[in-house]
Amino acid sequence: MNKKKNETTKQIIQLIVAICVIVIGFGVVKVIGINEDYKHNFERNKADNSTVNTTTTITNTITKNTTTRSVENKKNTVKTNTKSTTTTKETRTTKPYSHKVTETTTIVTKSEAEPEIELVSYDIPAGDTSFHGYMDYACITDINSLQYQLQLNCWTDSQGIRRQGDDVCIALGSYYGTEIGTRYLITTDMGNSFTAVLADCKADIHTDYNNQYRDTGNGFKNVVEFIVDTYALDPNVMSSGNIGTYDNYSGNIVSIQKLS
């Protein structure tokens, strides 16, 4: 009977040991899981505290001036500078409990470009073209003419020359054009250069067979004729009859170019 009692006690002890092993094993698994959760939370918090990186890229594109010389009645195109600047800001952020997100934003895109200017060059007659005659604007009397309407928007400068804006008012032979309001760039061999507007046209019967100039005698070929207020002219200019008496208009005409 004692033997049977010992067997029963032994079985009870084995059962208790088995239960303890199961309980201890479950506790170990739970502790490991807690450690993994703690590690995961630590990594996540570390990512949440990450800094923001900013990268700025600036790109400048400059197109250089391109100038092509022209021949008779061919266009000469002058392109102005074109500058383009683009700034891109890239921001890397990390949101809590999410994957990393990269956001790219364009801050400024700036482009400045001026319109192209086309120059049409014309021939200049050989000979002395340093005599620049003039005509009083009061001689333009047809109120319905384009010449008269243009003068309504003109003014007289300190030298007695009529201007539209900064352009001096001139008359040319039909070879150089007949459209009132056409603008020109005129240069002399004395280094003078000025812009002008066609305010009147010389009659073909008063010019040479090419309709480029008027023969004023003594070998002078008057290509450019200025529109003026006679009473505001310098006395020396009135005496000579030549606007070329002014230093800033002196010299032979070496270039006439139409501005489009």
Q: What pLDDT was estimated at residue 167?
A: 98
Average pLDDT, the chain: 77
Please report the pLDDT score of residue 26 as a whole number: 63
pLDDT at 47: 54
pLDDT at 100 over 60: no
User: What pLDDT sits at residue 124?
Assistant: 97
- Are the C-beta atoms of 80 and 65 separated by less than 8 Å? yes
The answer to whether the beta carbons of residues 113 and 80 sit under 8 Å apart is yes
With contact defined as beta carbons under 8 Å apart, do 175 and 122 qualify?
yes
Per-residue pLDDT band for 72 (boundaries 50, 70, 90) equals: very low
- In this prediction, residues 140-152 reach a mean pLDDT of 98
Residue bearing tokens 């033997």:
3
CA distances from 251 to 116, 128, 132, 181, 224 (A): 30, 9, 9, 25, 12
Do 103 and 128 form a contact (C-beta atoms < 8 A)?
no
228 pLDDT exceeds 80?
yes
Between residues 113 and 27, the one the model is more confident about: 27
Query: What's the mean pLDDT in 33-56?
Result: 53
d(CA 89, CA 87): 7
Q: 134 vs 119, which has greater pLDDT?
A: 134
**Number of other residues whose CB lies within 10 A of the CB of residue 253:** 21
Position with higher pLDDT, 182 vs 53: 182
Across 16-38, average pLDDT: 64
The residue that leads in pLDDT, 13 or 23, is 13
Q: What is the pLDDT at residue 115?
A: 62
Long-range CB contacts for residues 10-19, cutoff 8 Å, separation at least 24: none
What mean pLDDT comes out for the span 185-207?
Answer: 97
CB 246 within 8 A of CB 237: yes
Query: Residue type at 71?
Result: V
pLDDT over 50 (residue 28): yes
Span 15-41, average pLDDT: 64
Residue 207 CB-density burial (10 A; 0-12 exposed, 13-18 middle, 19+ buried): buried
Query: Which of the four pLDDT bands, split at 50, 70 and 90, describes residue 101?
Result: very low
Dist CA 82 CA 63 (whole Å): 5
Q: Which of 243, 234, 238, 227 is nearest to 129 (CA)?
A: 243
